[in-house]
Structure 1
Amino acid sequence: MSLIVRVAARGDGITADGRHAASAAPGDTLTDTGEVIPGPHHQPPPCRHFPECGGCQLQHLDDDSYAAFVADRIATALAAQGIEADLRPTALSPPRTRRRATLHAEGGLIGFTEQASHRIVDMRECHVLHPALFVLVGPLRALVQRLRPKGRVELHLTLADQGVDLLVKATLPPGLAAAEAITAFAQAHALARLSIDEGYGPEARWEPQPVTVTLGGTPVALPSAAFLQATAEGEAALVAAVREATAGAATVADLFAGLGTFALALPAKVYAAEGARDAHLALKAASAQRPLFTEHRDLFRRPLTVAELDRFDAIVLDPPRAGAREQIAKIEAAKTPRLAYVSCNPSSFARDAKALCEGGWRLDWVQPVGQFRWSTHVELAARFSR
C-alpha cells in the first residue's frame, strides 16, 4: 500500500513512488489492487454528477487540500524553471459563485460536457454555478426542446449588473413562432439581455436597458460573451494583489486591459492597452471621467517598446493563457521598477518569470487564486520589482 502525497495537474492523486489514482486526495491510501482508501482530506463529493461532469475534477478534496493543490500547481511550474517564490495563502472562491459559464444543449440534454468527451452530462444540480445562472437551466432545457434548433447549442451565461446576459449560439428555425418564443422567454425570466449568434456574430433580441458590469465602482458596457473574472471573489483577490503590487505608483501601464478590471481599480493615471475592439470601446466609454487613456493595440504584434514602458512607475500585465513572450522581452529591458503579473496559466507564467529574473527582475511574492472551484484551473497574481 502507498500513501497519496499530492495531486497532479490533471487531478489524479500521486504516491511517493509515482503511482496515479483517480479521485484520490492527499492522505488517502492506494492499495496494491488499485483501491483508494479515503484519508483525512477526502470529502464526499457534494454533487451527484461528479466525477462524470467535466465542470469539476476535484470535488473529493477538502478546502485545505484544494488550496494546497492550487499553490502546488504554481510552485511546481516555477520549480521547473529553477525559481523559488514566496507563495501566499490561496484565495478560494466559495461554492455557487461562478458568474459566467458556457453550457451545451442537444436532444433534451443541457449541461457541461463529460471530461475529455463531447457527451453532455444533463445538469440536475450544480455546486459551482451562481444560483442566478443555475435557475435558468431547467427553463433553457425546455426552450431548446421547443425550438428544436439544428445541431448542438452553446449557451453563454454571464451575470451582469442588470441580471443574466444570455448568448445562444445556434441555428434556429425561421419564422415568427421562434422569435416570439425567444422574446417571451427573456421577458418571463427577467433576462438582462438575450442574444442569438447563428454564425454571423451576436444579435441582441432582448435588451430592455444597456447591459453593464461594474468594475472598480464604474459601470462598463458588457459585450456579449465578453471575458470577465469567473467570480466576484476571485476578481476581488486579484484586484487587491494588483493594487498592492502597484501601490504608490503615479502612472501605470495596464497591458491586456480587457474591460478595465484593474485599470478602473487603480488610484493612478493609467494607460490601458487592449487588442479586442469591443472591450477597448467599452472601457474607453466608461473612462471618460477618469485619468485613464485607452488604446486599441495588439500587444502580440506591437508590444510597448522599452522607451514607452520607461514612462511608467508600474506595469500591470494580464495576458491570455499563452503568456506574453513578445511583451516580456521589452519589459525585461525596461527601467520601470514594479510589475504586477496576473496569469491563468502557471506554466506560461513560470516561463515568463524565468525570462524576467534573468533580465534583472526579482519575484517578490505570488498570490494563488482558486476561483474555478474544484477544477484544475489555477489563477495567480505576482509582484516583480527591480
Structure 2
Amino acid sequence: MSVSGLEEIIRIAAKGDGVTASGRHVPGTAPGDLVAADGTITRGPHHIDPPCRLFGQCGGCELQQVDDTGLADMVKGRVVHAARAQGMEPARVAPTHLSPPRSRRRASLRAVNGGGGRALIGFHAAGSHRVVDLRECHVLAPDLFTISGRLRNYLSKRKGKFSAEIDLTLIDQGVDCTIRNLPVEGLEQTEDLLDFCRDTALARLSLDQGFGAETFWEPEPVTVTLGGVAVPFPQGAFLQATQDGEDALTGAVRGWLGDCRAVADLFAGLGTFTFALPPHIPVLAAEAARDAVLACKAAASRHRRPVEAVHRDLFRNPLQPAELARFDGVVLDPPRAGARSQVEQLAASGVAKIAYVSCNPVSWSRDGALLAAAGYRLAEVRPVGQFRWSTHVELASLFLKDGE
C-alpha cells in the first residue's frame, strides 16, 4: 500500500529487513510501518519498543522491534513461502509456536580483556568483531546469564590479554561450560579455576587450548533429559535451543508417529525424537557422531527401551528402501543443508509416514519436493520460532504416502 508517497512494510525478509510491496528493504521496521521517501518511519500496529537496552548494539537479536504477532507471521511466512516455491501446498499449517523470552538454554559467547582490569563477555555487535558486554539479556535462560556474569568477574582477575570463546549449555546438573583459547598455566591458575568451578557449582568445565576439548571439572557424570530419559551428554553435543521449542517439535512428531509399529529416527543425535516416542515402539536411531550414538545406546539400555542405536553416515550411506521396508514411520532432523541422498531413498521406499524436522525451510522444501514427486503429500506443517527475535526458523512437517 502507498499513501501520499508512503510505502507500507508488508513482511520481514530473510535477513531481518522490512520489505515494501515495491521491494524496498528498510532495516529496523515491522509489518504495518509506513516509510517515507526520505526514510522516515511511522510506526504501525506491530512495531514495539525493544525490551533490551542493548538492542541495536548487541548482535544476539535482530527483531526486538516486532511484536509477537509480527514474529509469528514472519516464521509462518518463511515456511509457507518455501513450500510454495517448490510447488507444495500444505493441507494444514498449524499456528506458529514462539519460545518465550529468557528461555535459550545454549549460547556461544566471546570473552575479551576490555582493558583497565575488566573483561567483556557477550555476543558480537552486528556485522562486527566487537564484543558487546552482556549486562542485560532477554534471550538467555537466567542460569546462563548468571554464569556469564560470574565468568566476567573471574576473567577480570586474570592478567594479560585474551580472546576466548565460551559455549554454555543448560543440562540436568546445571551449566555445562566449554572455554576455548584461554591458557591455564601453573598451579595458581589451575587452583583459581577449580575454585571458580566449585564456587559456581558448574556441572562441567571443558578446556580447549588448541588440541580439542578436555574435561577440567565434572564432579558427577552429566546428562540431559530427553523424553523423560536421562541421556549422557557428550561435550559439544547438539541440543535444541530451548526446552520449549524441543517440546513443540517432539510433541508434533509423537502425535504423528505415536501409533506406528516401528520407527526409524534418522540423524538421531542423542535421541531427542527417539525417546519422545511412546516407549513400546521399536526405534532404529541412526547417527554419524559416534559419541552421540554411544550415549543414546547407553540410555536406551539403562531404561530398557527397544532402541537400536547405530553409527552411520547417512550422507554417504543412506538407509536403502529394502532397509526401510520394516518401518511404517520415519523421523528425520538433518543439518541445515538438508538430506537429499537419504530423502531420495525415502521417496523410493514407500514408508507410510515421514516426519521431517528442519532448521532451514529452503533445504527442507527442496527435499520435500522429492517426496512430493514420489507421491507423498504435505499433510501438515508446524512453524516453530525458538530463536526468539531472530530470523532463524524451525519447523516440523508430516508427509503421507498417497492412500494414507
Structure 2 CA distance, aligned partners of 1:317 and 1:232?
Answer: 19
The equivalent residue for 1:369 is 384
Alignment of 1:331 onto 2:346: yes
Q: Contact 1:195 / 1:203 at 8 angstroms: preserved in 2?
A: yes
1:33 to 20, 33, 38: 38
Secondary structure of the 1:295 match is strand
The equivalent residue for 2:68 is 63
Q: Contact 2:111 / 2:164 at 8 angstroms: preserved in 1?
A: yes
- How far apart are 1:143 and its partner, in Å? 2.0
Q: Unaligned 5+ residue runs, structure 1?
A: none
Seen in structure 2, the aligned counterparts of structure 1 residues 149 and 255 have a Cα distance that, compared at 3 Å, is farther
- Fraction of identical pairs, as percent: 55
Q: Contact 1:339 / 1:383 at 8 angstroms: preserved in 2?
A: yes
Q: Contact 1:149 / 1:170 at 8 angstroms: preserved in 2?
A: no
Structure 2 CA distance, aligned partners of 1:133 and 1:325?
Answer: 36
The equivalent residue for 2:87 is 82
Q: Contact 2:112 / 2:161 at 8 angstroms: preserved in 1?
A: no
Count of matched residue positions in the alignment of Structure 1 and Structure 2: 386
The equivalent residue for 1:12 is 17
Residue identity opposite 1:35 in structure 2 = T
Q: Contact 1:299 / 1:327 at 8 angstroms: preserved in 2?
A: yes
What pairs with 1:195-214 in structure 2 (closer than 5 Å)? 195-214=206-225
> What whole-Å deviation, never above 9, does each CA across 1:318-359 have from its counterpart, x for those lacking one?
000000011011001002100000000001001101111011
Q: Contact 1:150 / 1:171 at 8 angstroms: preserved in 2?
A: no
What pairs with 1:247-258 in structure 2 (closer than 5 Å)? 247-258=258-269
Structure 1 CA distance, aligned partners of 2:60 and 2:232?
Answer: 28
Alignment of 1:106 onto 2:106: no
Secondary structure of the 2:181 match is strand
- How far apart are 1:77 and its partner, in Å? 1.4
What pairs with 1:1-386 in structure 2 (closer than 5 Å)? 1-85=6-90, 86-107=92-113, 108-148=119-159, 151-267=162-278, 268-288=281-301, 289-386=304-401
Residue identity opposite 1:297 in structure 2 = R
Seen in structure 2, the aligned counterparts of structure 1 residues 148 and 259 have a Cα distance that, compared at 3 Å, is farther
Residue identity opposite 1:230 in structure 2 = A
> What whole-Å deviation, never above 9, does each CA across 1:164-187 have from its counterpart, x for those lacking one?
011111141410111111111111
TM-score, scaled to structure 2: 0.94
The equivalent residue for 2:3 is none
Q: Contact 2:34 / 2:41 at 8 angstroms: preserved in 1?
A: yes
Residue identity opposite 2:359 in structure 1 = C
Q: Contact 1:157 / 1:225 at 8 angstroms: preserved in 2?
A: no
TM-score, scaled to structure 1: 0.98
Q: Contact 1:149 / 1:173 at 8 angstroms: preserved in 2?
A: no
Q: Contact 1:306 / 1:333 at 8 angstroms: preserved in 2?
A: yes
Structure 1 CA distance, aligned partners of 2:242 and 2:184?
Answer: 35
Structure 2 CA distance, aligned partners of 1:97 and 1:35?
Answer: 34
Structure 1 CA distance, aligned partners of 2:349 and 2:236?
Answer: 35
Secondary structure of the 1:354 match is helix
Q: Unaligned 5+ residue runs, structure 2?
A: 1-5, 114-118
> What whole-Å deviation, never above 9, does each CA across 1:31-66 have from its counterpart, x for those lacking one?
110111111110100011112211110101111110
Q: Contact 1:150 / 1:172 at 8 angstroms: preserved in 2?
A: no
Q: Contact 1:341 / 1:381 at 8 angstroms: preserved in 2?
A: yes
- How far apart are 1:149 and its partner, in Å? 7.0
Secondary structure of the 1:176 match is helix
Q: Contact 1:149 / 1:172 at 8 angstroms: preserved in 2?
A: no
Residue identity opposite 1:136 in structure 2 = I
Structure 1 CA distance, aligned partners of 2:111 and 2:209?
Answer: 15
- How far apart are 1:265 and its partner, in Å? 1.2
Q: Contact 1:256 / 1:319 at 8 angstroms: preserved in 2?
A: yes
> What whole-Å deviation, never above 9, does each CA across 1:131-167 have from its counterpart, x for those lacking one?
0000112221122233357642111100010100111
Root-mean-square deviation (CA), in Å? Answer: 1.1
Secondary structure of the 1:381 match is strand
